[in-house]
Chains A and B, each alone.
Chain A
């Protein structure tokens, strides 16, 4: 099913999304990957304020290529998500509602998704040029020294993603493969 959502991404929005749905996201989302997650969680541990409000936010695991002149951003597809597994539950406990990446998540992340009513989305890995066309504005808001890994505030229009793990913990990587194999019997 196709679902259209606007950020902020609320609990009610999250609940109507089921694993396997194609979801088009519009509004403001934030980028963060390995190094930025490490810093964000260090701030949380120190009780300090984060560079953006994570409540009902969506984080895109991406390190874009530099924009060519006149463009908002370069190619911008997802990076593999498991490297953020150590940090994701901390952010979900603070209200993070959506994560966009690709690939498997840990048991702890799935549990945190269920507990907090969040959703894990996958964008198509390796489709950086295509996904870039849905990003209309990009601005570095923290950790500029990290280059591609800096935290960026993005304005996206109908960013196409697939819901992989929904609020109930149903996982498309398991159900999709199983359904395909059954169809081949």
Chain B
């Protein structure tokens, strides 16, 4: 790629963002039309055409950055659902969004700290080494000699996110009143606002570092003096991302150990700390040959209130034993009843009529790994695809009217986690989440880590 191509910043103006969307759609449209014509003429090369369409989609999305990049990342998380050509293109969203012009990187640092990178750092690499949510990460060295990762938010992204949200709010939502989409949108809007403020991420990273007691779990150290609203500086973790780690062909024992540690840590966060890392993008985890794991990017954190974690455990147990009354009670406790179905009677009637068909298959999938002592992903091919499909089926059904944000984020985290295990081909000891609330057994887990 020529240097000129990298040097694109954010299209901020609503019109120019609209233009990129329109251009992408038009190009996709023509490509699709061409593809259909060729098919009729019998000269279609499906793979090549799809590859072209995938490239166009990704180019369009990454030019927009902002929500679109986030969307690309979400898609690549659910990537097994897409044709393989799309998978390849979209997977790039993890690490390879187009980088910012170096002059703008300098400007972003000056805006935040009022000084040039040379004045602030002993050494600063103007070339980004990774893309992050809503920004990019640069390597630098502090004057104390410590190597750090400096995450810089794309300048102007806040405005383009607001524009995107406004476009969706005024053009799409009016047609979707009181649907899951409108709930999702408001949830996404809140989440984006939190993710835009790196001060929030700073506080969360520090809090997790303090709260997670396991030695083998590495959480980057934050340097508050080098942080602002649009820049966050943390220690540089030098492990391997999932693909790179697996490419080093670790032993099955190491894989299982690492997967177990990851499972224990995530469950500990969800059910003991009652707050969890809700962005299970594989780019947010790091692995070491000795079995250590690292967690990055605490921008997307979701909480369970005091009741919710317990209710979820009860629900799981009820799904396991097939206790319908208990399941219904759990859903009612979750606050589902309040979202759409005004009265208690409405909720009961709705739940009795639709649970079996709509929600039960996904619930059963969720609790499947908990049925035995251990769960071997190698013995359950397409486990995650099945889960994503059930999740999507439920969400996409017009009859699906109940929504709870915490639960949705937990479901996503669960799917994301198992997707990583699946890729590793790991076998894990799946402890019931209730164990993570029991102090005595917790001691056992800590020793095991």
Q: Do A and B bind each other?
A: no
